[in-house]
Structure 1
Amino acid sequence: MIEPQFRSKGPELLVELSQHVADTVKTVTELDPQTAELVGNAVAKHMMTVWGGQNVYFPMGISWRASQRDLQIYEEFDGRNHSALAKKYNVSLQWIYKIVRTMRKEELQAKQHTQA
């Protein structure tokens, strides 16, 4: 349960942050609702301490979602399914080739970094 004092005095953003964290924790970890709300409150209070007084901008996450999609495409790529992936993810065939090329390059760089 959200502390009454926190609910009434907490700025709307922090109250919503607490609720969203609690909902996510319940969904992801299957914790009981009371423990999830405690986690949500703790995260909101921590953000008050860390970011208090600052203007915080939350991006829409377009590039993050695109990179997640690209990783998924690369994981599903089997060397022969360019067209199927383009259709499935609603991107051009050229874009699939570019994603695969980029992901291979990043993978190679990561391997070289660990070997150095």
Structure 2
Amino acid sequence: MEQQQEIFHTDTSELELLINSVDDIADDNVRQRWPSTLQSLSEVLNCELKRANINNPHLADKLTIALGYYFGGRDIYIPTGNKLKLALRNIAIWREFNGRNIEQLAARYQLTERQITQVVKEQRQAEMQRRQRSLF
């Protein structure tokens, strides 16, 4: 958590200049000169923005630049595949849980009632950790 706060306490004037310059210089030729990871990230963001009916021609590039600025050079882990699906499923179960619907959730998510109870327990603990400060 401290590391993330440190990221956003940096002077953002340099980032603002980079992002504002995108409208002036952005075209496919500029993007082709980016490192391949940034090209791929920009393309993924662009596709998702289009799917969400967000029609801002340079928004994906601006988001890519911001991510590169804050996270560039860092080793970050982005869960994929099953870990991501399970995390999203568990969050959905927690949001739908009302204290009396374990059986319905088990049927809906094709899990046992014991598994649903475990997911609820883990999500409750995660929620408590988010809301309460650690004493140590």
TM-score, length basis structure 2: 0.57
Query: 2-side partners of 1:106 and 1:56: how far apart?
Result: 21
Q: Offset of 1:93 from its aligned partner?
A: 1.5
Structure 2 regions of 5+ residues with no counterpart?
A: 1-25
How many residue pairs align between the two structures? 109
- Is 1:21–2:45 an aligned residue pair? yes
Q: How does 1:1-116 map to 2 (within 5 A)?
A: 3-28=27-52, 30-32=53-55, 35=56, 37-52=57-72, 58-60=78-80, 62-108=82-128, 113=132
Percent identity among equivalent residues? 24
Q: 1:19 to 1:77 in 2, by over 3 A?
A: same
Unaligned stretches of 5+ residues in structure 1: none
**Coordinate RMSD, CA, aligned:** 3.3
TM-score, scaled to structure 1: 0.64
Alpha-carbon distance change, 53 to 97 in structure 1, aligned in 2, over 3 angstroms: closer
In 2, are the aligned partners of 1:6 and 1:15 still within 8 Å (CA)? no
